[in-house]
Amino acid sequence: MIELKTPAEIQRMHVAGRFVAEALSEVGRLADVGVNLLDLEHHVRGMIKQRGAESCYWDYAPSFGSGPFRNVTCLSVNDAVLHGLPHDYTLRDGDVLTVDLAVTVDGWSADSARTVVVGTAAEDDLRIIRATEEALEAAIEVARPGNRLGDISAAIGAVAGDYGYPVNTEFGGHGIGRTMHEDLHIPNKGRAGRGLKLRSGLTLALEPWFARTTDRIVFDPDGWTIRSADGSRTAHSEHTVAITEDGPLVLTRRESEGP
């Protein structure tokens, strides 16, 4: 079932979204050479506790994972891109770190992810990060009443194509609201003009992610962390977006990204 949200409900999701944005900004500031992933995880746990928020990840047990997840962040390094299990790893110069975070505040959820380079950045890494950010902005731009779900997928796929990155369609965007995952799967490529007609009140997590040279993925033995099958580096950008009469409203926009 797809639940359309009222403007008041969207405002409540925006409260959660602002917190997620703040936490992702904070992790971006803290992520540095010599910092352990577990330090980042524990820092965000503290922020969530202080805010009186709830992690959407804690005890999450989807069909593909191995038992309940007992962390509040997904931290994916280099060729890892999705669902990275925080573990005892100290960040090194040039590492690419993806941070994904979803929380619920007063019953409403928001989900956002970003990729940053730790220390000295390689040009290829900056390029793929830029591609996911541009794909996300292109997807947001078409998230308007009257367009179709396929327009969002096509917008993401077109940017990937321009950059020459293959696109995996197993994991993509999703509906979001009272819980992190609601109905609607939004593949990161697709045909414009097809699929569900977008309506005001739809709230979606849009999340382009690419690996440089493959669309195939492999799972780590930890049962969570997903990597590019060929070990090539990856990036992931995600925002929670509400479709309104006035156009797309990004609920997880960070201050550093501008309006």
Binding residues vs Mg ion (CB under 5 A): 100, 111, 113, 205, 238
Closest approach of Mg ion to the CB of residue 120, in Å: 27
State the minimum distance, in angstroms, from the CB of residue 113 to Mg ion: 5
Determine the Cα–Cα distance for residues 99 and 258; give it in Å rounded to an integer: 20
State in angstroms the smallest separation of the CB of 25 from Mg ion.
Answer: 16
For Mg ion, give the closer residue by CB, 173 or 190.
173
Q: Which is nearer to Mg ion, 9 or 111 (CB)?
A: 111
Please, what is the minimum distance in Å from the beta carbon of residue 97 to Mg ion?
14
**Which residues have CB under 8 Å from 111's CB, separation 6+?**
20, 56, 100, 101, 102, 176, 180, 205, 207, 238, 240, 252
Q: How far apart are CA 155 and CA 138, in angstroms?
A: 6
Q: Residue 159 or residue 204: which is nearer to Mg ion going by CB? A: 204
CB of 48: closest distance to Mg ion in angstroms? 15
Q: Which residue number, 100 or 134, has a Cβ lying nearer to Mg ion?
A: 100
Between residues 242 and 246, which has the closer beta carbon with respect to Mg ion? Answer: 242
